[in-house]
Amino acid sequence: MKVSKNALKILKKRYLAPDETWEQLCERVARKVAGDEHQSKDRGKWEKKYKDMMLNLDFLPNSPTLRNFGRNEGCGSACFVLPLEDSRRSIFKTLSDAVDVQAYGGGTGMSFSNLRPKGDRIHSTGGIASGPLSFMEIFDFTIGDIIKQGGTREGANMGILRVDHPDIESFLVAKAIEGTLKNFNLSVGITDAFINAVKNDDDYDLVFEKNVYKTISASALWEKIVDGAWANGEPGILFLDTINRNNPLNSMGKIEATNPCGEQPLLPYCSCNLGSINLSQMIRGDWVEGGAEIDWEKLRQTVRTALRFLDSVISVNNYPITKIEKMTLTTRQIGLGIMGFADMCIKLHIRYGSDECIDVAKNIMTDIYTVASEISVALGKEKGVAPAYEEYPLSGPKRRNGTLTTVAPTGTLSLIGNCSSGCEPNFAFNYTKACLEGDDLDIVPAVVGEWYKKKKTELLPEFFVTTKDISIEEHIMVQAAFQTNGVDSGVSKTINAPYDTDKSEISKAFFKAWEMGCKGITFYRDGSRDVQALTIREEVIEAEKADELARGELKHRPRATTGPSLKMKTACGKLYVDPHFDKDGVVEIFIRTVGGGCAANTKALGILLSYCLRAGVSLEKIIRSMKSIHCPACTKAISSGKDVEVNSCAAGMGKGLEVAIAYSDVYRKVAKRIEDADIHFYGGRSTGIKNMICPDCGATVHRAEGCLLCSNMECGWTRC
């Protein structure tokens, strides 16, 4: 299967070796994994199956496997959990291990709950403890800012603190200021006892090593957790008792932490070796016309092949540290999951979040787990069961793998697979995603393109829904359907809610997730982080302009300004965006369309944006707002492969402003020279316009009704 343009951009930037193709990548990964087979004839057979499965985008392993296997000595596992005990030796040993893990391309999860609270006396030295947060800051700087994950991106980490730790209140506001602990996701380890204390409005003890440090209102602490989630999506929630009750390896010890995205609760030094089946590929029939159904045989065969693949990853892997290798080979945990679930629902003409959708989720995951368990038992007989079954009194049938299934976020993998991510709904049907270190991707889901191509209409039926159409309860019901019907690890799921969501809704969501048996939950209020990140910046901008403009006052527009004339292709024709600078910055913007579109509307938008700029409205805010606007015509054109450069005329305006300010220093200097020279177009030292030419097409320019007009009627350039 041919990968999409976006997939190719991602592959070139992060996965492909120099001059390597997608097929060659699949070949090298398949060859490495098939090396686990003892018979040469088996190696060839499985190598072909593995290659075809990836090449056709039916299944993809986690990113480190794709990037490293057959290319270098990097690790194929995605994430790890490391222990932290209350001693300098343990803390900095873990930091050293985390550095090695990150260098190999993995993320780390750690619970800081065993570290004594800030201000506590250290008996061995007589000193005073600095507390868990101080060590989190050290970890954040070292394995985030210094070590790049696998040499390609900043490190990913999960920091966890139990809800009964004496420093929990400080932990809850640790990321209130944008940029703090930027390489950490934060989650609170919630217990059943705390939840019940909140429900009963009881007091709650904060303890360390069985000593009570403080007694507070459980409800008040709950509100602080909700406040953080409402403000910027952090902290997330981990239900520790639910995790440990449902851990197939519970006789080996208590789980205290998860990997960075929360889908893999793990014991210390365990790793997650993940892969996801593309459910949008598990459909047969003409889905656009309503004749599609789940291809159960293809799904089951993909599960059989994928499980053997992931088990072999463990055997041929390169591990960053010896303890991780030992624990991974002992438990042989894998995480076979899914992506493309929302696209599958669309192809079945089912609305995401509906009762039918919940039933599909339950049936799909139950079937995957049943087949995976059968294959793992068979593999145990063929290659030997996981040593944990011989060393610990684990329940259930003895099999090759300690855990089998998980649902990962598949953020990058789903872009390669050209499908919706994990078990999430589609974010939107035309949007921009920043995921390549400054190189944004314009995304139109494949199902949208297929629908437009066959139906030739811009209208989408009601079963095409995005995250903004999904209620909070529907989000949780989908997550619970996967978690409690065939997932023995965890489910990565974010509840995306509107900006105006009330805090009480977040509180209800957390309770609902606990009641439904979810192992964790993340809540994100749309725009909350962007608003916070820009608040500081905008306050500075507004403070700088406070002395210049009174409320309702417009900045004076000088006689002459300067700036670029930018041409972009839209679905309706050409869009020209001309941002104009004075010596201080952008002060005005002219917008026009040629060859289609509504010239009156674009001209009106230019006037309104110019007033905004002259009134002191933040340029960054204007750009962000304009770029977020998409139109069906552009969406349809992009999905059908037409050469369209923007998602809407409004997005083009934002893009034009963004391009212009990249060269702000140049244009401001020119504008300053023009102002200093006291240049006038009419009268004075000017010789008039008889020698002026159009900056777009080169034709002569004439004056009419106070405006400069290009004499070439097909061009349409004008300036008033």
Cβ–Cβ under 8 Å, residues 120 and 129? yes
Query: What angle (nearest 5°) sits at the alpha carbon of residue 382, between those of residues 365 and 77?
Result: 55
Whether 26 sits among the annotated catalytic residues: the reply is no
- My answer on whether omega of the bond before 445 falls inside 30° of 0, hence cis, is no
In three-state secondary structure terms, 39 is coil
**What is the spatial order of strands in the sheet that 271-272 belongs to?**
271-272, 79-81, 107-111, 157-162, 184-190, 236-239, 520-525, 494-497
Write down the catalytic residue from 261, 419, 572, 649: 261
Closest by CA to 183, choosing from 225, 240, 121, 139, is: 139
Burial of 439 (0-12, 13-18, 19+ CB in 10 A): exposed
In three-state secondary structure terms, 271 is strand
Closest by CA to 622, choosing from 669, 581, 579, 573, is: 579
For the record, the structure tokens of 351 come out as: 């609305």
Burial of 179 (0-12, 13-18, 19+ CB in 10 A): exposed
CA–CA distance, 321 with 301 (Å, rounded to integer)? 34
Whether 430 sits among the annotated catalytic residues: the reply is no
Cβ–Cβ under 8 Å, residues 373 and 397? yes
- DSSP letters for 403-432: --B-B---HHHHHHHTS--TTPPBS-SSEE
Handedness of CA 342, 348, 354, 360 (dihedral sign): negative
Cβ–Cβ under 8 Å, residues 190 and 237? yes
Helix (H) or strand (E) holding 591: strand 586-594
From the CB of residue 714, how many other CB atoms can be counted at a distance below 10 Å? Answer: 9
Q: Where are the alpha helices (DSSP H) in 502-644?
A: 503-515, 528-545, 599-614, 619-627, 632-639
Amino acid at 329: L
Write down the catalytic residue from 47, 234, 263, 588: 263
Q: How many residues are there in the chain? A: 720
Cβ–Cβ under 8 Å, residues 420 and 342? yes
Write down the catalytic residue from 259, 426, 496, 647: 259
From the CB of residue 204, how many other CB atoms can be counted at a distance below 10 Å? Answer: 23
Amino acid at 300: R
Whether 263 sits among the annotated catalytic residues: the reply is yes
Please give the positions annotated as active site.
259, 261, 263
